[in-house]
């Protein structure tokens, strides 16, 4: 019978066989294989214990989960964390884009401020620029279809009125079509109220009835619009 093997603790609590020339090669091989298997199982157990500590609500049922359950719950938790990371990345990108737009608006507003010498900037303020564009576009479109003037006149207080927030939120001059569309959509989602149209429509109807007589003669509306388009301010 061969002499018993001599072992000593190794790294991580594993056991290593000391060199012993008295052991038979086959016996030494068997002992090394046995300890390697023990080390593998110990490392596997440590890994599962660590994984179980990281997965939330794993022990909610009061029963120790099997390894299969631990792996399934671990995969589910990883998918949740991945989705959360992607969502946060999308939110961060959206916020960065919004910050860039705000910085651009701030730059435009700062450029419109009067200089220290008291002279004003040669550029139009955003509201004045928007108002000029609105009136110009109204005339151009109304010449193609006079009915456009009615809608433009109805919406003018909302778009370029003194108390309108639209001019402050619209993308500044030089922005791309996508940026302008995005800023308009943002304003509509935040500030649009259909109820505001009722008093505006009533006021416009009274104006057209008293100045153009559209209630008694609807055909006079087109002539009235043509006259307005020839005025400096339509």
* DSSP conformation letters of 4-50: PP-EEE-GGG-EEEPP-TTS-HHHHHHHHHHHHHHHHHHHHHHHHHH
| Cα–Cα dist 81/71, whole Å | 15
Q: Would you state the pLDDT for residue 14? A: 46
Looking at 145-219, list the stretches that DSSP marks H as alpha helix, in order from N- to C-terminal side. Answer: 147-160, 166-169, 177-191, 197-211
Q: Which pLDDT score is estimated for 234?
A: 45
Domain ranges of the chain: 126-230
Please give the distance of CA 69 from its chain centroid, rounded to a whole number. 36
Residues of the chain scoring pLDDT < 70: 1-21, 61, 112-126, 167, 171-174, 232-234
Supply the pLDDT for residue 113. 67
Closest to 159 measured CA to CA, from 170, 150, 175, 174: 170
Q: What is the pTM of this model?
A: 0.41
Reference 72, options 46, 41, 48, 44; nearest CA is 48
d(CA 141, CA 75): 59
pLDDT digits (tens, 9 = 90+) for 152-195: 888 888 877 777 777 677 766 667 778 877 887 888 887 777 77
């Amino acid at each position: 019978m061969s002499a018993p093997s001599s072992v000593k603790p190794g790294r991580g609590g594993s056991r290593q066989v000391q060199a012993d020339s008295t052991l038979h090669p086959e016996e030494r091989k068997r002992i090394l294989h046995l300890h390697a298997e023990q080390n593998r199982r110990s490392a596997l157990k440590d890994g599962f214990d660590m994984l179980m500590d990281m997965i939330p609500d794993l022990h909610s049922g009061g029963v120790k989960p099997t390894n299969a359950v631990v792996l399934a719950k671990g995969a589910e938790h990883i998918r949740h964390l991945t989705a959360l990371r992607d969502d946060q990345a999308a939110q961060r990108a959206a916020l960065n884009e919004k910050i860039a737009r705000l910085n651009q608006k701030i730059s435009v507003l700062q450029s419109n401020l009067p200089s220290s010498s008291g002279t004003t900037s040669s550029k139009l303020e955003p509201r004045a620029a928007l108002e000029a564009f609105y009136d110009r576009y109204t005339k151009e479109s109304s010449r193609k279809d006079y009915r456009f003037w009615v809608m433009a006149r109805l919406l003018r207080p909302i778009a370029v009125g003194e108390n309108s927030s639209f001019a402050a939120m619209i993308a500044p001059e030089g922005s791309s079509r996508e940026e302008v569309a995005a800023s308009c959509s943002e304003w509509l989602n935040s500030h649009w109220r259909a109820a505001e149209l009722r008093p505006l429509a009533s006021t416009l109807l009274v104006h057209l009835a008293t100045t153009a007589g559209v209630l008694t003669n609807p055909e006079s509306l087109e002539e009235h619009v043509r006259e307005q388009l020839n005025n400096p301010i339509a």
